Amino acid sequence: MACDFKAIIIGRGMMGAAAARHLSAMIEGVALIGPSEPVERKNHHGVFASHYDEARITRTFDDNIVWATLAARSLDRYAEIEAKSGISFFTEAGCLFAGPVPQPGQGYLGRAIEVSDGLGVEYEVLDPAALRQRFPEFTLRESFSGYYEKRRAGHVNPRALVRAQTALAEAGGVTIIDATVTSVQDAGSHVEVSVGDRTYTAERVLVAAGGFSNFNQLLPAPVDTRVAARTVVFYELGEREKAIFGGMPSSIVFGDRDEDHVYILPPVRYPDGKTYLKLGGDTETRSFDTLQDAGAWFRSDGDPAERDLLVATALELMPDLAGCPVTSAPCVATFTPTAYPYAGFTSSPRIAVLTGGNFVAAKSSDELGRLGAVLLAEGALGEADFGRQLTPSFR
């Protein structure tokens, strides 16, 4: 039978929009389906996405060669995407890592140094005295050292990046369908994708729905992921604080253990016209197995206990934030047992999945989208594209 599309990508987030852009250069007859960001988050009872924000850290310095490579490949294309779309999304603010002096190859920082050196990543090593002198906006332990990636690092605006990817995909012939998919069925010779009372058909489908990939019968069997709740806090900055923190880089500060870290985004102007400094951590209070529970979390203000912990940490690291208004918001992170993203086919040779950001995929989203496009166009990923490491598992 003749299908409506050669390929359908489900999910208009950072990975899905990137996949659509890349696939538009490989084949014709592509559709990208997913809902727009809800106007009123707290009154929305459908699916959500975690890119509804203005800043995500981007950098190559990483303790894992796969993630570092995915990020570097994405960074290579930022300028081209911005130029062709006319939409700016990357701010080269630099990225600072700070923490206890690492032992070679041990802990996140020790491994990241080895991986980064192997890939030729440019970064500056700052001893404790130089770290405090270079970044006086932070109050760090006197024993902490720093690792500063100045070039090709900083933050991306995820909303703007998705807009840019979507605009270029549409310019490349992709049909954009603003709707929520309610089921996906392998019909033997093709795939049927239901959207309300309408059904679209395609030769192949890529499900790139992030933390919502296991909901709405999108996959033949649930992909093996854990969808975890995360909380972030926003400090509303006045003119004094803008002057103090305006030149800071994106930052990740470790404690005595790797898991005791926080990430900090520099001051960014948000759609409400105010400037916020954002901070988040690696703690979580719950995981989600149903669409209803995930939706309720996205309609909340996050976890109060996690908010209080982040506020205490922020004031310890940046005392000049004292007195600034603070708000909190929810986010979700999709974790895989392998700690790698998933990019591969399901039990159906016509339905593939691309998910599993492990809370670090924003910086790698364009390359992950390319891998999803290669999957649909060619049917598999090779070793150069980490096909073995990215193989999905299912429950």
Q: What span, in angstroms and rounded, lies between the C-alpha atoms of 337 and 360?
A: 15
Alpha helices, DSSP H only, in the chain? 14-24, 65-85, 107-119, 128-134, 158-171, 239-245, 291-298, 304-317, 365-378
Hey, where are the domains in the chain? 5-52+158-225+337-385, 92-154+226-335
The model's pLDDT over 197-230, given as tens digits with 9 standing for 90+, comes to 999 999 999 999 999 999 989 999 999 999 999 9
Residue 92 · residue 153 · CB < 8 Å: yes
How big is the chain by its Cα radius of gyration, in Å? 21
Give the pairing of strands 183-186 and 191-195. Answer: antiparallel
As given in the structure block, the two tokens for residue 103 are 């032992």
In the predicted model, what is the mean pLDDT of residues 143-151?
Answer: 97
Are 334 and 210 in contact by the 8 Å Cβ rule? The answer is yes
**Residues 185-201: pLDDT tens digits?**
999 999 999 998 999 99
Q: What is the dihedral of CA 101, 106, 111, 113, to 10 degrees?
A: 30
302-358 pLDDT, tens digit each: 999 999 999 999 999 999 999 999 999 999 999 999 999 999 999 999 999 999 999
Q: What is the tally of helices (H) and strands (E) in the chain?
A: 9, 20
- Say what the pLDDT of residue 263 is: 97
pLDDT band of 285, cuts 50, 70, 90? confident
In the prediction, which pLDDT does 284 show?
74
Q: Is the pTM of this model over 0.95?
A: yes
Architecture in CATH of 5-52+158-225+337-385: 3-Layer(bba) Sandwich (3.50)
What integer best gives the mean pLDDT of the chain? 96
Please tell me whether residue 290 adopts helix, strand or coil conformation: coil
Is the confidence at residue 258, as pLDDT, over 80? no
Q: Looking at the predicted structure, is the pLDDT value of residue 248 above 90?
A: yes
Model confidence at 259: pLDDT above 80: no
- Angle (CA) 330-331-333 rounded to 5° is 150
Mark residue 62 as left, alpha or beta (left: phi above 0; alpha: psi -120 to 50; beta: remaining): beta
Runs of H (alpha helix) within 46-87: 65-85
Per-residue model confidence (pLDDT) at position 257 = 81
CATH topology of domain 92-154+226-335: D-Amino Acid Oxidase; Chain A, domain 2 (3.30.9)
Number of Cβ atoms within 10 Å of the Cβ of 247: 12
Looking at residue 394, its pLDDT comes to 97
pLDDT for 49: 87
User: Residue 50 — pLDDT band, cuts 50, 70, 90?
Assistant: confident
Q: Please name the residues in contact with 287: beta carbons below 8 A apart, sequence gap of 6 or more.
A: 226, 227, 228, 229
